[in-house]
Amino acid sequence: MTTANPVGNASPHTREGAADRRPRRLSTETKAAFKTTEFFVYLASVVAVLIASMVVGDDDGHADYFRADKAWMYIVILTVGYMISRGLAKSGSRDPYDD
């Protein structure tokens, strides 16, 4: 059985007037992660650690004092720091919502 909608503008998927009671979304939590400067600083830091680990080596028979396992530990520390900074950024700021 089909019912006609006398108003004609309500969506068939929602009850009539339900959209009026739902709060309109005016902002997102934060900017997208790839739009922030902290993301680019994080990427540059990771690249710098990897390059430093590759360049610093055992020249002239000296011991390699910046091995790969130490470099990867620094990258993990950088990643944790980046995740904490994103969490703090999301906790209180708002970015205008683009429809």
- What span, in angstroms and rounded, lies between the C-alpha atoms of 24 and 26? 6
Q: For the chain, what are the domain ranges?
A: 28-96
What residue type is 12 in one-letter code? P
Q: pLDDT tens, 35-85? A: 778 889 999 999 999 998 888 876 666 677 788 889 999 999 999 999 998
Supply the pLDDT for residue 27: 59
Supply the pLDDT for residue 67: 86
Q: For residue 12, is pLDDT > 60?
A: no
Q: Who has greater pLDDT, 27 or 71?
A: 71
What residue type is 87 in one-letter code? G
Q: Full-prediction pTM beyond 0.85? A: no
